[in-house]
Structure 1
């Protein structure tokens, strides 16, 4: 299986390294959910977590008040794709009475690591555990159940008592409850509601609101007992399928219209899709703009939007809805098949608007197609169906993550002339539904550059060795930060990175981001006296010339991925998890080079390890980031008992001259080599490496030599940069049987470099086009190697000798 993954990885260019075992710190969280206002004892199982110290939650309202290690397993228990469980930790989670509902992502801080991410669900209902067949459960409860996927006919049935005219609403979280990073939970459950006689009252498999997870609601026809049936829609024998079934008397609308409003306002809205009919509500919107989760008594919220500009509602009886001014939020519904809505707006040439549709991202069934055209034109200026990634504010996500937000179009619109324009929206399938609500936000384009942290490993699984931030006390940690421009952003200058939320005693060193560059290594340093802790931080951009710029942070965590496929579930956060861990048992230092790295050249860097008493393990070291055109030597190991090594950098001819900050990262060699779980990592201090033009350039005319004879390869020298003393020269690329007779030296001012060569009587005949020179210059006690020039050598047969007898 590992070989298969590696081949897919190489063929699809999904990773910068060969794929390896998917070893994650956290594999199981039991129980998977808890009720608001309660304290829950939670067991966490995984690898390399027995020294857990603390739990960091990304969302408010929940905290861990106790962490203690349980006895480790007698032997590892295998999971999927090389993962395993060896350790157990018990935690006490305290959940506030007003804790936000839904999934709460978290990480553990161990003595030396920040673990992979997992989640814990919070529900408004009391938790009931599945215990028997045909199990009675109270109305308004959440059942933690398990589907035995090794049994094709496994069906779970729950009996609940209700009254005539009362709602019976059921929501089952399965895919969205998973904690699996890579395969093993691709389950598709379906739900039915039956009366006492077994008659089906309602069923649901998939839903626009929760995709693979079912949501349904019905009005009970009489007092009495009813059954809720949960079973597999598609059989999957991949293991135990855990789920959380919310069974309540609450209403269950499927959409809200309009799906947003201005910040701070009290919005008159209508709840749609409930079996009891539409319901008018007043929604008080927050003062923060962006996404907003509306909830009253439901098991899960309806997503809405909050903006700084007013709503425009579609005029139902008109062909067009007039919009008095932009910016604005255009709201409507595609209620029937082939329905189409149009909004007439005035725009000027030179304006730049960001136009974003929100429909599937809000959980409605609409699959929107957006078009914009001049009111008196017959063809569209813009047509868009699905979104490109940055347009949906999902900068950190690859196309390997499957999210409904990607089905909502977003464009930058630049009118070519003054006048009236029509913004049109339809369902691209020609479908319609009373709950097919949409919201189109039209706002001016602003400069915006955002940061994200992501490692290009197979299927974008979380890779702590490349994406975590866990700084040892008195040590350093380096991580690559990526930048991405929001649609329409036009700022092209240099940028500085700014960190918010760092603990006292920690500082960040971030090289200035040069114009046009979108990745930079960032280093965090913790003073020796900084206490171990966790927190959430953000890293944003600011311009160096004072130009106003919006900037945010983002990181994504895909779940349920498969090689070459799409993740079924993912979590996106707007802060980075940050930890100060206990001291590393070693320190790595790299000597600052005193000489430049030449284009087409090599540079050798001495590395030193300082070990603490009692620590004598192998240490790997490598550069995790180098500028374009520069390559670092593959990972090298300083073995136990040794404290020094070297690492080479090489630059191609295309490497851009300049000075770059590089940091070497070291790690112990235990644990997972691929994702990094179970290893102790730290970084060397930044060093400045200068890429410089070569000392010389060489040109040569084609040369020839006959078997058994000698000849010369002559290079014309163009001096680019002076050097002291003499440089050594080596001729490379000679065929078998041809050797260099002399070893010429090169001095400043020389016009030619001449190699005497000799061809044996068995030298290989033919034309050889890859001759080049390696020039070695010694400067400030360090050697600089430069490969330069390209020449052609032809090896000819020996001349026939005429004997004296034939004369």
Structure 2
């Protein structure tokens, strides 16, 4: 009577709707589509409810109550009213149930609907922005919309078909109405998930969600005039339920925040990026700020939190324009109590009063381990935080009084305060920093120690900037890996500023040479960049086998112009050119020695004189 395996509405979960030809018994058979030697649990809904497969139009204007036509039910088409929620004033997807056991997805947006004129070759669009709605009712059907645009206008053109459970893999084409049909100016088929405002997913196959086969693009009119927008399905799967919707809207100014797993996998948990804040302590995570099909805020901004529980504060430095990640620090003071809360973030432009749309997102998959992708995910538009029992330790880091220079190293002291006699080992690691800054692997501080040093390094081309720096501490366990997240208590230090500056000196040298069994000198020119007090010791690294430095090593001051090394070569010195010589300068700054590497030299080893 009816059969189904996969479908566009529920993907791998079957849907059957039939009209029984006569009274009597009907057998419902459930079986695997492929053999697997294991038990599988399932649930089947059987009833006399409607089971539509699509709705037309598949959306409406926010605050309205349009009549929609339900398609695909075995008893035929029927109509119902759908309330387009006015709780949000931005475009979004929502669920419409009716009396069906599972919902259809519909769209809500601030713009009016326009339905295709199926009897005409072209449907005329009288205004933008707009939401276009149609059905690709056959394998050869092509719907065409004619609209006017002004040169330089930028519009986001986004099609919804597979996203809403439609069976088609739609393509959009845009071309000037005055040109021949072959002069296509824009053709878009699939689009990455980020173009659909979906971030932080880690599908192994690169897709995983239906949105990936719907097109979305930012289009700019090349000249004033009329344009044609065509919708078609090259796969030829059009039919009576092949609905689609094209929303054409101006670009919005958006700040997107994203909480994503910081480990190598993407599973049913937040791993080490959960928002668990110990009472009387701090916890810091990095929130991602991805770019999508919108206009960036274009200035520095502050992030504030709405909905945090009593006694919990968000403490974060001002976010610079263009930042891709930024730390959020939550502090639970003594007035807080163990509790959970749902909160959102809002971006406030620095020194401006303009409105900016702020979005929050976290994607949580189900069954996303080896062997398959997560076809089902929960996508949230807010975050959840919990205040937990007090941690047995806290961390303190002072603001660095000196800068980390390009090509240099800087030691950051970390102090541990143990509480209530806690004597366990503590794993210490540095918070997220850009790739131009090197950080050490996690260090284990033994129970009898209460401090350690984090040695940071900067590449010679590291950007000159001020970065937020924090340190994370965690209890240790032998039975649970740290990256799994569970079973460990984590805290962070406060956020301090780390400045990346120009190096103190720059050293260069001409290629040198030495004969076996002889001594000679290598002179490096010193260019002073940043003044310093005292004497700096210079070491020469990278000498080949058989060539050594003759002590003492040279000392330089802020007034030095050269640094001279005395070297000797044994009879075993390797003959030929040796490159990769570099100077390591130890500069006394404050209470520590800054280590900086500079220069690139070479030396030729010649045979002994006859």
TM-score w.r.t. length of structure 2:
0.95
Q: In the TM superposition, what is the alpha-carbon distance from 1:702 to its structure 2 partner?
A: 0.5
Give runs of aligned pairs for residues 197-212 of structure 1, distance below 5 A.
Answer: 201-212=1-12
> For the Cα contact (< 8 Å) 1:367–1:429, is it kept in 2?
yes
Displacement of 1:633 in angstroms is 0.8
The corresponding residue for 1:707 is 516
Task: Please say if 1:654 is aligned against 2:461.
Answer: yes
1:458-469 matched pairs, under 5 angstroms = 458-461=264-267, 464-469=270-275
Deviations 1:131-179 (A, max 9, x none): xxxxxxxxxxxxxxxxxxxxxxxxxxxxxxxxxxxxxxxxxxxxxxxxx
Quote how far apart the aligned CAs of 1:458 are.
3.3
Mapping 1:187-266, distance limit 5 Å: 201-237=1-37, 239-266=38-65
1:559 match: 366
* C-alpha separation in 1, matches of 2:307 and 2:2: 49
* Structure 2 unmatched ranges of 5 or more: none
Q: 1:676 aligns with which of 485, 503, 524?
A: 485
> Pick from 481, 486, 507: which aligns with 2:287?
481
CA contact (8 A) 1:459 1:565 kept: no
Give CA-to-partner distance per residue, 1:188-234, whole Å, 9 cap, x none. Answer: xxxxxxxxxxxxx2111111101111111112233333322222111
1:760 aligns with 2:586: no
Q: Structure 1's 399 and 545: CA in aligned 2 closer, same or farther, altered over 3 A?
A: farther
Q: Which residue of 2 aligns with 1:61?
A: none
The DSSP-based 3-state class of the residue aligned with 1:230 is coil
Rounded Cα–Cα distance in structure 2 between residues aligned with 1:781 and 1:463: 44
Helix, strand or coil for the counterpart of 1:769? Answer: strand
Deviation at 1:545, TM superposition (A): 4.2
Partner residue in 1 for 2:534? 725
The 8 Å contact of residues 464 and 677 in structure 1, kept in 2 or not, is answered as: no
From 340, 344, 365, give the equivalent of 2:142: 340
Q: What are the within-5 Å matches in structure 2 for residues 372-521 of structure 1? A: 372-378=174-180, 379-398=183-202, 400=204, 402-455=208-261, 457-461=263-267, 464-521=270-327
Which residue of 2 is the match for residue 18 of structure 1? none
Distance in 2 between the 1:523 and 1:659 partners? 18
CA distance in 2, matches of 1:346, 1:577: 45
Sort the Cα spacing of 1:319 and 1:511 in 2 relative to 1 into closer, same or farther, 3 A. same
Distance 1:345 1:360 in 2: 25
Q: For 1:604, what is the secondary structure of its paired residue? A: strand
The structure 2 residue matched to 1:576, chosen from 359, 366, 383, is 383
Give CA deviations for 1:45-66 in whole Å, capped at 9, x if unaligned: xxxxxxxxxxxxxxxxxxxxxx
Tell me, in whole angstroms, the C-alpha distance in 1 between the residues paired with 2:262 and 2:275: 17
> Following the alignment from structure 1 to structure 2, what is the Cα–Cα distance between the partners of residues 248 and 717?
86
Deviation at 1:717, TM superposition (A): 0.7
Indicate the structure with greater strand content. Answer: 1
Secondary structure of 2:82 counterpart: strand
Work out the CA distance in 2 between the residues paired with 1:734 and 1:341.
73
Structure 1 contact 360–405 (Cα < 8 Å) conserved: yes
Q: Is the 8 A contact 1:218 1:275 kept in 2?
A: yes
| Residues 1:313 and 2:115 aligned together | yes
Choose 605-614 or 473-482, whichever is displaced more.
Answer: 605-614
- The separation in 1 between residues aligned to 2:421 and 2:296, in whole angstroms, is 55
Alignment map for 1:163-178 (pairs within 5 Å)? none
* Equivalence map 1:573-652=2 (5 Å): 573-652=380-459
Cα distance 1:498–1:751, how it changes in 2: closer, same or farther (>3 A)? same
TM-score of the two chains, using structure 1 as the length reference? 0.72
Once the two structures are TM-superposed, the CA of residue 566 in structure 1 deviates from its matched residue by 4.2
Contact 2:262 2:272 in 1 (8 A): no
Out of 540, 549, 559, the residue aligned to residue 740 of structure 1 is 549
Give the match's secondary structure for 1:405: helix
Distance 1:628 1:539, change over 3 A: farther
Give the CA deviation at 1:564. Answer: 9.7
Aligned match for 2:84, one of 261, 271, 285: 285
Residue deviations 1:600-629 (CA, integer Å, cap 9, x gap): 011111222221234211111111311341
CA contact (8 A) 1:447 1:486 kept: no
Looking at structure 1, the residues matched to 417 and 39 of structure 2 have their Cα atoms a distance apart, in angstroms, of 47
How far does residue 503 in structure 1 lie from its aligned partner after superposition? 1.2
Determine if the alignment matches structure 1 residue 797 to structure 2 residue 607.
yes
State how far apart, in whole Å, the 2-side matches of 1:663 and 1:564 are. Answer: 37
Deviations 1:250-292 (A, max 9, x none): 1101001011111222212110000101112222222134212
Q: Which moved more, 1:476-485 or 1:214-223?
A: 214-223
Q: Note if contact 1:454-1:555 (Cα within 8 Å) is conserved in structure 2.
A: yes
Gaps (5+ residues) in structure 1?
1-200, 801-807
User: Alignment length, in residue pairs?
Assistant: 599
User: Offset of 1:244 from its aligned partner?
Assistant: 2.3
Task: Note if contact 2:306-2:345 (Cα within 8 Å) is conserved in structure 1.
Answer: yes
Q: Sort the Cα spacing of 1:714 and 1:655 in 2 relative to 1 into closer, same or farther, 3 A.
A: same
